[in-house]
Amino acid sequence: MKVGAVAMKKSKRVMRRSILSCLYSHLQDAYGLEYPEESFVQGPVSMQDIDALLAFKSDPRLDELRGALDRLERGTFGQCLACKEPMDPALLEADPTHRLCPACEQFYSHVMTREIRLPMSPLR
């Protein structure tokens, strides 16, 4: 195994723990999760376990954190969904649910908030 691959696996492990820590905190705060934090964050919690915990919870933050775990498993975590460039690790450390780099986020935010003017329909 290459040195870079070892570093990547370690980095993936660290990011998974970071995402699970955010997920645990949210589940505890919002739903009163009664599960030992260390076992949840450090233990062998599978994606099936997580899906079972989230099965009947409709919560945008949980969806974002689940999406971050999915991207991590697929190998696309930390890559901007729009431009496909790597994102700043500090940005992901602060909030692992970021999906867009700051430049793309600003661009799409502007596009979504810009007033769209449609021509009036001649229907009468």
Would you write out the chain's pLDDT as a tens digit for each of its 124 residues?
A: 443 433 445 588 889 999 999 999 999 999 888 888 888 888 888 888 888 888 888 889 999 999 999 999 999 999 999 999 999 989 998 999 999 999 999 888 877 666 554 455 444 4
Residue extents of the structural domains in the chain? 1-77, 78-117
- The pLDDT of residue 9 is 55
- Give the pLDDT score at 21: 93
Tell me the angle at which helices 60-74 and 47-54 cross, rounded to the nearest 10 degrees.
Answer: 170
The confidence score (pLDDT) of residue 13 equals: 86
The secondary element (H helix, E strand) that includes residue 3 is helix 3-31
What's the pLDDT at 113? 65
Rounded to the nearest 10 degrees, how much is the dihedral formed by the CA atoms of 91, 96, 93, 11?
-120
Tokens of 53: 């915990």
Please tell me the pTM assigned to this model: 0.73
**Which of the 8 DSSP states describes residue 43?**
S
